[in-house]
Amino acid sequence: MDFSPITTNTLLITGTTGQVGSALLSLFPGALAPTRADLDLTDPFSIRACIRLHRPRWIINPAAYTAVDKAESEPALAHAINADAPGILGEEAREIGASVLHFSTDYVFDGTKPTPDLESDPTHPLSVYGASKLGGEQALAATGAAHIILRTSWVYGATGKNFLLTILKLAAARPELRIVADQTGAPTSAADLANLAAQIIAANPTESGIFHATSQGETTWHGFATEFLRLANITTTLIPIPTSAYPTPARRPANNRLNCDKLRDTFNLQLPPWQTSLAKVLNALSTSS
């Protein structure tokens, strides 16, 4: 799809050094991409000054505090970036008639539902990170600004910090790895999310709301690792373990699956199967190395 009509200074993207942010910037090289010096999401004055200076038509906010375990010991910082900042972005967007496309997470749920979560299901985050992201959703919606919130899961890509790159690095150095096998979700490519955001903006939506946006299909962390090591032709042995055998400061939902029917029904959009996107990411890694 040609997105050139919106690759102008009417689009402001936060967090362009992150996985989704950098993918968005590659689609929109003419977009406003403020650095932290220009837009500090921990500083309300900085946020307001940046938006008032540039007056974008769309604000895309993939920036987040994503250190799930570290957030347990840094709740104030996590909430400043994940909960407070989206509300301030929304307030400023409302004042200039802009729209906000904000990314959230499956961690707003507790993972106890046996079927994929709907947008309308009750939220119950288990961690500081999940609570902070839920706070951001609520703060943005409360401003009355036009907004689209995309909840996603298990984001990875060819750059940045993510599960895929971590396991590939470890697999090159160790003969076997122990991988959690009782958490289920949909690994979702950062590039796919960037393309989805661009298509939604191009559709010029008139109604605000929350939409679940993950790759099609499901797997476990063990299944995900098994598939990408197979595709990468790496023979490290993967040993499946329960979550209880890998304790972490933050609790994770056991069921990370999200029902994405609303996205399909509203925009006629859906992400590819996770296996398809994984192969593309691994191909990008092999051609860049």
Catalytic residues: 129
Partner residues linked to 148 by β-bridges: 101, 209
Task: Name the residue with tokens 């970036």.
Answer: 81
10 near 58, Cβ under 8 Å? yes
Structure tokens of 151? 């909840």
Structure tokens of 117? 């979560």
99 near 146, Cβ under 8 Å? yes
Q: Residues 85-88: contacts with CB within 8 Å, 24+ apart?
A: 85/41, 85/42, 85/47, 85/61, 85/136, 86/61, 86/136, 86/137, 86/139, 86/140, 87/136, 87/139, 87/140, 87/142, 87/143, 88/44, 88/47, 88/48
Task: Name the residue with tokens 């992150």.
Answer: 18
CA torsion through residues 259, 262, 263, 269, sign: positive
Pure H helices in 80-220? 85-96, 128-142, 163-171, 190-202
Alpha carbon of 213 to those of 54, 57, 58, 189, 192: distances in Å?
A: 29, 23, 19, 11, 10
